[in-house]
Each structure stands twice: as structure tokens, then as C-alpha cells.
Amino acid sequence: MANLLNVFGHAERSFSETPLLVGDRSFTEWLRALMPDVGGSLSFTPPRHGIAEDLKEEVSVLFERMVESQKAKVDEAPRRDDAQVWRAYEKALAPGVSQHLRSKSFATPSIKVDFEHAVKNGAWHVIQPVSMDFKQPESMQRKASQWVGTAVGLQRVADLGTIFFLLGEPEKHRKAYERAKTLLDQAPVQHEIIEERDADQSNR
């Protein structure tokens, strides 16, 4: 709140003749008073107008062009996807085990999740490959966050047993990988994290 008052105080002082809230000032004047030019890339043009057949669609187009296009792309594709990670682990399974696995869906009022590999032994135990094989460390954190959020939605599923997270390890960024693994371990359901090195040792 103090910062906001300071901004308005600066704008007030910039209008030497008439107080900020008095008079008929244009929107551009307000913006220039609140955000003075500090030599950056932000600049203001005179107000413009036009005619649009679909105002909602036009606003969406302008928002995409002016705002969304400036954001960094966050949906980085991993070097190996989850299916490729699963195939690496599948090689370590005893012969015939994968034939007993089936797909299973869980639905709650807040979420629906499909697992491709599950087995029923009292409760449903599911196997979820999770590729962390990204170039950007932030992508590992984002992937872990997504699965923790999914686990939050599955907390009250009565017939869910254990989720086995099979991690696909990255080529580098080991510290970021360890942080993402620690975050994933906060999933609020019964779970177990298995790494590729463990699967490789069991296959020897």
C-alpha cells in the first residue's frame, strides 16, 4: 500500500498546476505520470480507435499479440517423453509382468486422471513414468509441481493404493533434478519414487 501511495505521490507532483484528481486529463497523461520514462523499452502512443465485428475476439487477438507473445515459452518438450521412460523401465521387469498391467482412471469432483499402467491388489496400485529429461531446470520443477497437484486431487480416492513414480533422469542439471525429486516426494498420497539407476541395478 505504501508503494502505491508513493507512485501516486510522484504523479501528483508531476502535475504542477492542477492536482492529479482534478481536471479532465487523458488516459495517456495518467500513464506517463504513474510510469515516467526511465529509458526502457516501454513507450506510449496516442490513443487509437477502430471498428471490430467481434469485440471479444479482437481483444483476445490483441492480448495474444501484445502480452502472451512476450512471455517465455514454458512448455518445453523433454528429450524423452513419459512413454520412452516407461519402455526403459519395462526392460527391467520380470518376463510376463507387464501383461498383468492395465489402464485405470480415477475421477473426483475436482480431477480426472488416467493411468496407463496399474494393477489391482486390494487397492489399485499405479505406475507413472515421469520424464525429467529436460534441457531447462525450470521444466523439471514444473513437471514435479504438476504431479504434486494431481496427487492433491487424488487424496480422497478410496481405492487408490500406491503411486510408483518412475523417474527419467536428465543428462545434466543434477541439482535441479534433486530439487524436483524432493518436491515430488511431497505428493500427499501414498507413493514411492524409483530412479533409473535402481532399475538398471535390478536388471543386472
Residue at 61 is within a domain: yes
> Domain containing 19: what range?
2-70
pLDDT exceeds 80 at position 154: yes
Q: What is the CATH number of the domain that holds 179?
A: 3.40.1350
Looking at the chain, the whole-number percentage of residues with pLDDT higher than 70 is 67
Same domain, 24 and 92: no
Residue 171 lies in a domain: yes
131 lies in the same domain as 165? yes
Q: What is the mean pLDDT of residues 1-12?
A: 52
What does the pLDDT look like over 75-111, one tens digit per residue? 678 889 999 999 999 988 877 778 889 999 999 999 9
Instruction: Establish if 75 belongs to a structural domain.
Output: no
Q: Is residue 65 part of a domain?
A: yes
pLDDT given at position 29: 67
The answer to whether residue 133 sits within a structural domain is yes
Give the number of residues written for the chain: 204
What average pLDDT does this structure show over 33-41? 57
Would the CA dihedral through 71, 180, 117, 153 be positive or negative? Answer: negative
CB contact at 8 A, 154 and 166: no
pTM of the predicted protein model: 0.63
Of 70, 98, 129, which residue constitutes the final position of a domain?
A: 70
- 59 and 107 assigned to the same domain: no
| 171 in the same domain as 97 | yes
Q: Over 80: is that where the pLDDT of 35 sits?
A: no
Tell me if 20 is assigned to some domain. Answer: yes
- Least confident span in 9-23, 28-42, 154-168: 9-23
pLDDT band at 41 (very low <50, low <70, confident <90, very high): low
Among 14, 37, 70, the domain boundary falls at 70
User: CA–CA separation, 22 vs 24, rounded Å?
Assistant: 7
Q: Check residue 52 and give its pLDDT.
A: 78
Report whether pLDDT(203) > 50. Answer: no
Q: Residue 103 in contact with residue 115, Cβ under 8 Å?
A: yes
Structurally, how many domains does the chain consist of? 2
Any domain includes 77: no
97, 184, 105, 179: which is closest to 148 by C-alpha?
184
pLDDT tens across 123-149, in order? Answer: 999 999 999 999 888 899 999 999 999
| One domain for residues 50 and 141 | no
Quick one: average pLDDT of 49-60? 77
How would residue 204 be classed by pLDDT, with cut points 50, 70 and 90?
A: very low
